[in-house]
Amino acid sequence: MTESTLSSGYAEIASAVGDYLGYSPTASAWSAAQTAVIEKVTNLGYHEFLLAHDWPFLDLTGTVTVWDSITGTMTVGGVGNVTITDTTNSPFYPTCIGHKLVADTSETEYTITGYTSSSVVTVSADASADTGDTFTITGTGLFRMPDDFGSSVGDRMSWDDDDTAARPVAYRSSADISVFMQKSDSAGIPQYAAFQPAASDGTSGQRFGVRLYPPPDSDYTLTYQYRPLPDKMVSATAEFPYGGSDATLVIRASCLAVAEIERDDMIGVRNAKYEAMLARLISRYNKSRPGDLGSTARAQGVDYNRYGTVSYDGTVVP
């Protein structure tokens, strides 16, 4: 897919920042220290822009596959014998991360720490003693969301059914789902979902999980709308920011406003220009929004009827 020729990528924005800082507009002329400053300023400006408004171009659609249980045969290899391969069944999903893979004969448990492909995952310990054994991964109803998931948009997920266009999985709180699970933990068709932050040891950014009720009784691919956790711009490999050509003009102004503070230690004319351009872009987006912003689910073609009910102590959950 070809980017608009009016869009500014990282190289062009960084060139403007380098020139403004008094280094050079040419990347090959920058020292390592200058390159580091330019990268810092450029991505601070980008981040500032992303936080400045509720941008509609950040309303993305994603999918996540959830499941009841997974079985297969493990071939162990790789550095430290922590790579599990099953090319025959290709049974793995990204949502396997964090779950326990149990070798059926020895009953040894291995925590899945990484997903490479549908046929390859990594685990937390040397599994060579169980190579060739069959294994089982049992779902818990809690599944890791994709790494770029930042927050949900709308009021529900959905999944396609052979009999209906889309079946809703409404958002509830984690506390609600805990109450439901205390009454019954039987698997079934997911009706409710709650997002919750995952624990982090600080070696990587914090991620999120989705907790489902009932826990899924089969494989379901859930569609949802979300706000991403954007990556920084990097020359050549991830050059173009979110927003397209109109946004990149304002992003460039934001980066130069940050460069102004870096160079002069003051908020001045560059910041004023950025704020004026930002206000104009926000006004354009506000005018172009559709009249009915009430429901992400409606936009996805999901109606408001519940399919089935959930109850406890004889009371139907609203």
The mean pLDDT value of the chain amounts to 87
By CB atoms closer than 10 A (0-12, 13-18, 19+), residue 250 is buried
| Model pLDDT, residue 309 | 42
Provide the total of helices (H) and of strands (E) in the chain, helices listed first.
6, 16
What average pLDDT does this structure show over 246-253? 93
What average pLDDT does this structure show over 294-305? 40
- 184-196 per-position pLDDT tens digit: 989 999 999 999 9
- 29-76 per-position pLDDT tens digit: 999 999 999 999 999 999 999 999 999 999 999 999 999 999 999 999
Angle at 24 between CA 19 and CA 28, to 5 degrees: 130
- 159-168 per-position pLDDT tens digit: 987 666 678 9
> Which is more confident, 299 or 16?
16
* 3-class secondary-structure state, position 6: coil
- 95-111 per-position pLDDT tens digit: 999 999 999 999 999 99
What average pLDDT does this structure show over 303-310? 39
- 252-277 per-position pLDDT tens digit: 999 999 999 999 988 999 999 999 99
| Model pLDDT, residue 302 | 40
| Model pLDDT, residue 111 | 96
Q: Which residues contact 235 (CB under 8 A, 6 or more apart)?
A: 9, 10, 11, 14, 27
Angle at 50 between CA 149 and CA 3, to 5 degrees: 85
| Model pLDDT, residue 200 | 76
- The hierarchical CATH code for the domain 69-138 is 2.40.10
